[in-house]
């Protein structure tokens, strides 16, 4: 369960409060504030705070005095222009702060995105919960034979069951040892090993939590890489959940991101040359434009 009854009560209490403000609010985001959106078996993403909206992007681009909105159409057109031409700083005027609960092996990929501010739950100070990511059976797959960094054929039947049993048994055993090592005992006669040491025995599928604050430009960069079909499923589902939140927060900016980055494609100079030849009805092959077999395959995936 991602959230306990007490945590839910705290969230509900926070959601019941509101305060007048002169600051910009994005109605689409207000509806999500504080609510935990479940991800994987015990994880979640929830919005703790945000700054700005679509109008804040155009306001910064125009360096205007007022709210900045000349007309809705102008705002949307300007945002699309900024996205198309990599004029990225106006997007940095919007910020979001998320509370994320995620398995440690997902956190290791996530933390590589250096342009965010992070504060993680301390396993030196606190005791970690007995919560481990155990994949749903349909997400167990063999090593891909065509992509060294990916999954291939789905595991079924006995093999899938064996994997699940091993994951569950190893997680339980590691946590039991962790609990024994940190236990102070009834009369203080337990081992009472320091938490900072006992945690080293825990596997990478245990859950951690952090607050993660990032501006919209860098968030789009994160989403471009992690909501992509090549990203590992376990981080992709978090990125996809964040995409849904961002679409409600800054709908014009998100649509532009979807059109020009997420669903768009970047072509090299030889690829543009090949495309031009194709449009003229000429027969063209990789060698004609100096592309490798792999580049050509990736190019054909885009254009066919």
Ligand X SMILES: Cc1cc2nc3c(=O)[nH]c(=O)nc-3n(C[C@H](O)[C@H](O)[C@H](O)COP(=O)(O)OP(=O)(O)OC[C@H]3O[C@@H](n4cnc5c(N)ncnc54)[C@H](O)[C@@H]3O)c2cc1C
Closest approach, Cβ 112 to ligand X, in A, equals 4
Of the pair 84, 230, the CB lying nearest ligand X is at 230
Question: What is the Cα–Cα distance from 257 to 219, expressed in whole angstroms?
Answer: 11
**Residue 163: is it exposed, middle or buried by C-beta count within 10 angstroms (0-12/13-18/19+)?**
middle
Kindly state whether residue 3 participates in binding ligand X, applying the rule CB under 6 A.
Answer: no
Of the pair 40, 235, the CB lying nearest ligand X is at 235
Given a contact cutoff of 8 angstroms between Cβ atoms, the answer to whether 37 and 44 are in contact is yes
Give pairs for 176-183: CB < 8 Å, separation 24+.
177/201, 178/128, 178/202, 179/130, 182/127
Given a contact cutoff of 8 angstroms between Cβ atoms, the answer to whether 221 and 83 are in contact is no
Tell me the residue number closest to ligand X, measured at CB. 114
Query: How far is CA 37 from each of CA 58, 103, 294, rounded to the nearest angstrom?
Result: 29, 15, 39
Kindly state whether residue 242 participates in binding ligand X, applying the rule CB under 6 A.
Answer: no
Kindly state whether residue 154 participates in binding ligand X, applying the rule CB under 6 A.
Answer: no
Of the pair 236, 277, the CB lying nearest ligand X is at 236
Question: What is the Cα–Cα distance from 272 to 75, expressed in whole angstroms?
Answer: 31
Which residue of 51, 164, 167, 225 would you call a contact of ligand X, by CB under 6 A?
Answer: 225
Query: Which residue has tokens 């040359």?
Result: 273
Instruction: Check 114, 124, 195, 226 and give the catalytic one.
Output: 226
Kindly state whether residue 88 participates in binding ligand X, applying the rule CB under 6 A.
Answer: no
Neighbours of 42 (CB within 10 A): 19
Kindly state whether residue 221 participates in binding ligand X, applying the rule CB under 6 A.
Answer: yes
Q: What tokens appear for 177 in the block?
A: 């040892």
Q: What tokens appear for 207 in the block?
A: 């859950």
Task: Tell me the window of 17-25, 100-108, 217-225, 260-268 that interacts with ligand X (CB under 6 A).
Answer: 217-225
Question: What is the Cα–Cα distance from 288 to 152, expressed in whole angstroms?
Answer: 33
Of the pair 23, 85, the CB lying nearest ligand X is at 85
Query: Which residue has tokens 């300007």?
Result: 78
- Tell me, yes or no, if 236 is annotated catalytic: no
Contact positions with ligand X (CB under 6 A) in 105-134? 112-115
Contacts with ligand X: how many residues (CB under 6 A)? 9
Query: How far is CA 139 from each of CA 81, 105, 276, rounded to the nearest angstrom?
Result: 39, 16, 41
Closest approach, Cβ 13 to ligand X, in A, equals 34
Closest approach, Cβ 226 to ligand X, in A, equals 6
Contact positions with ligand X (CB under 6 A) in 178-207? none
Of the pair 155, 231, the CB lying nearest ligand X is at 231
Q: How far apart are the first and last CA of the chain?
A: 43
Which residues 6+ apart lie within 8 Å of 138 measured at CB? 154
Kindly state whether residue 230 participates in binding ligand X, applying the rule CB under 6 A.
Answer: yes
Which residue of 40, 102, 231, 291 would you call a contact of ligand X, by CB under 6 A?
Answer: 231
Question: What is the Cα–Cα distance from 268 to 299, expressed in whole angstroms?
Answer: 9
Of the pair 36, 116, the CB lying nearest ligand X is at 116
Kindly state whether residue 151 participates in binding ligand X, applying the rule CB under 6 A.
Answer: no
**Active site residues per annotation:** 226
Could you list the residues that contact ligand X (CB under 6 A)? 112-115, 218, 221, 225, 230-231
């Amino acid at each position: 369960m991602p959230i306990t009854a007490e945590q839910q009560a705290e969230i509900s209490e926070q959601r019941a409060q509101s305060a007048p403000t002169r600051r910009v609010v994005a109605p689409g985001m207000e509806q999500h504030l504080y609510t935990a959106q479940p991800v994987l078996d015990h994880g979640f993403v929830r919005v703790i705070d945000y700054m700005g909206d679509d109008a804040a992007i155009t306001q910064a681009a125009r360096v205007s005095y007022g709210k900045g909105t000349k007309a809705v159409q102008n705002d949307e057109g300007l945002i699309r222009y900024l996205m198309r031409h990599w004029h990225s700083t106006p997007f940095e005027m919007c910020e979001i702060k998320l509370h994320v609960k995620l398995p440690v092996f997902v956190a290791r990929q996530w933390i590589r995105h250096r342009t965010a501010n992070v504060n993680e739950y301390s396993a030196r100070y606190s005791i970690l919960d007995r919560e481990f990511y155990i994949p749903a059976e349909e997400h167990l797959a063999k090593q891909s034979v065509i992509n060294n960094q990916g999954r291939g054929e789905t595991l079924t039947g006995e093999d899938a069951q064996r994997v699940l049993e091993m994951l569950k048994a190893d997680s339980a055993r590691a946590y039991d040892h962790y609990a024994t090592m940190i236990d102070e005992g009834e009369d203080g006669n337990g081992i009472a090993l320091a938490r900072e040491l006992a945690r080293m025995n825990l596997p990478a599928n245990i859950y951690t939590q952090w607050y993660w604050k990032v501006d919209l430009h860098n968030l789009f960069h994160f989403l471009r890489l992690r909501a992509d079909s090549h990203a590992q499923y376990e981080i992709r589902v978090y990125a996809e959940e964040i995409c849904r939140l961002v679409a409600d927060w800054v709908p014009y900016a998100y649509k532009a991101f979807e059109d020009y980055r997420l669903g768009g494609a970047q072509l090299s100079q030889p690829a543009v040359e090949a495309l031009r030849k194709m449009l003229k009805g000429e027969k063209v092959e990789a060698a004609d434009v100096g592309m490798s077999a792999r580049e050509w395959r990736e190019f054909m995936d885009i254009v066919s």
